[in-house]
């Protein structure tokens, strides 16, 4: 079994958008290849997808940056640490426990949660609370599809998510002074979780996820700060009350439950009005204005009508 390390990735694999789009056209026809990767080896494997009307036409961030500039504190706090350390996580086999207020609770094998025929490519703008942004061509399926299939009970008002807790495989979970209270946990209100933009991603750039990006399955919520996008999910619980979230636990005055991207609500230690697009010309590149709900206001603003976004940050 080959595990790809950063040093093994040839410059020729770092695709420009043009090469990438041609390759996608070719792969979209190769339906039989879908999902070999999730069932088989640990190598990034091609996935076939259908295009989504929800994609932005902005230029995707290079695959190299998307896979080497990461936040995944279970593997260290430097941006380069996840790419260097995450290969130790074993993602096969993988189960996701679904429990709580739901009619079909079970430990689901990953393969049983995903219908390869319905995988979509969704090119989303992503905004980290630290002030940088990327454009990422995710491959995944709507979280709403999974929620529908497991039949939540009417009392379920929130979905709680959990990353694996495996100190033997995750160097950052072995620290004496833990940066976060493990396992990493996140949550969404039910109407957010069932919004068509909320995605469960299993790949990016047309291939299965690298571990540093949250293999084998992670959440993507493009109108919220990146920390809502919990990686390597092993549990989804349907609950009545707002669940705890890792960053809110760590510093509740800095990171709220909602974490909607909002240029008008500053982080207590820095402004959120602008952002640096990763890959755009170094230190002196002009910062871009940050948009309300990360530019997805037309689709999601109605979820929050009547809510004070300064209070529910």
Ligand X SMILES: Nc1nc2c(c(=O)[nH]1)N[C@H]1C(S)=C(S)[C@@H](COP(=O)(O)O)O[C@H]1N2
Rg of the chain in Å (alpha carbons)? 19
CA distance 62 to 16: 7
- Residue in 119, 128, 143, 201 binding Mo ion, rule: CB under 5 A: 128
Residue 188 CB, nearest distance to ligand X (Å)? 13
Residue 226 is a binding residue for Mo ion (CB under 5 A): yes
DSSP state of 254: T
Nearest to 96 by CA among 29, 172, 27, 160: 160
CA distance 60 to 77: 24
Per DSSP bridges, beta strands 106-109 and 95-100 are antiparallel
CA distance 20 to 188: 33
Residue 15 is a binding residue for ligand X (CB under 6 A): no
Residue 163 is a binding residue for ligand X (CB under 6 A): yes
**Across-strand partners of 254?**
none
Cα dihedral: 150, 154, 155, 158 (round 10): 60
Mask 207-226, x = binds ligand X (CB under 6 A)? ------xx-----------x
- Residue in 124, 138, 223, 227 binding Mo ion, rule: CB under 5 A: 227
CA distance 188 to 38: 26
Residue 305 CB, nearest distance to Mo ion (Å)? 26
Residue 255 is a binding residue for ligand X (CB under 6 A): no
Instruction: Find the binding residues for ligand X in span 57-96 (CB under 6 A).
Output: 70-74
Residue 214 is a binding residue for Mo ion (CB under 5 A): no
- For ligand X, give the closer residue by CB, 91 or 163: 163
Q: Are 240 and 101 in contact (CB under 8 A)?
A: yes
Task: Choose the one of ligand X, Mo ion, none that binds residue 184, judging by a C-beta under 5 to 8 angstroms depending on kind.
Answer: ligand X
- For ligand X, give the closer residue by CB, 60 or 214: 214
- For ligand X, give the closer residue by CB, 72 or 152: 72
3-class DSSP state of 114: coil
Task: Choose the one of ligand X, Mo ion, none that binds residue 213, judging by a C-beta under 5 to 8 angstroms depending on kind.
Answer: ligand X
Which residues here bind ligand X, judged by CB under 6 A? 70-74, 128, 163, 184, 213-214, 226-227, 229-231
Which residues here bind Mo ion, judged by CB under 5 A? 71, 128, 226-227
């Amino acid at each position: 079994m080959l595990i790809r390390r950063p040093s093994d990735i040839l410059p020729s694999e770092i695709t420009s958008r043009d090469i990438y789009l041609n390759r996608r056209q070719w792969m979209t026809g190769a339906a039989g290849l879908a999902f070999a990767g999730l069932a088989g080896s640990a190598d990034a494997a091609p996935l076939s997808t259908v295009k989504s009307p929800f994609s932005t036409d902005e230029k995707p961030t290079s695959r190299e940056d998307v896979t080497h500039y990461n936040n995944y504190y279970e593997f260290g706090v430097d941006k380069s640490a996840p790419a260097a350390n995450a290969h130790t996580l074993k993602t096969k086999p993988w189960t996701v426990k679904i429990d709580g207020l739901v009619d079909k609770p079970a430990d689901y094998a990953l393969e049983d949660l995903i219908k390869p025929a319905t995988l979509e490519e969704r090119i989303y703008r992503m905004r980290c609370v630290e002030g940088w942004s990327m454009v990422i061509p995710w491959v995944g399926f709507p979280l709403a599809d999974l929620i529908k299939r497991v039949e939540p009970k009417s009392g379920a008002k929130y979905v709680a998510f959990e990353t694996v807790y495996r100190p033997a495989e995750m160097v950052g979970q072995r620290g004496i002074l833990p940066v976060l209270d493990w396992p990493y946990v996140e949550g969404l209100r039910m109407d957010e979780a069932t919004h068509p933009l909320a995605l469960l991603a299993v790949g990016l750039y047309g291939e299965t996820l690298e571990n540093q990006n949250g293999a084998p399955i992670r959440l993507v919520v493009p109108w919220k700060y990146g920390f809502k996008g919990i990686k390597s999910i092993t549990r989804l619980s349907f609950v009545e009350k707002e669940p705890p979230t890792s960053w809110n636990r760590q510093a509740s005055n800095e990171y709220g439950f909602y974490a909607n991207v909002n240029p008008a609500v500053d982080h207590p230690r820095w402004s959120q009005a602008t952002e640096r697009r990763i890959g755009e010309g170094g230190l002196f590149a002009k910062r871009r204005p940050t948009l309300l709900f990360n530019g997805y206001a037309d689709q999601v603003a109605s979820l929050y009508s009547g809510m004070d976004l300064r209070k529910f940050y």
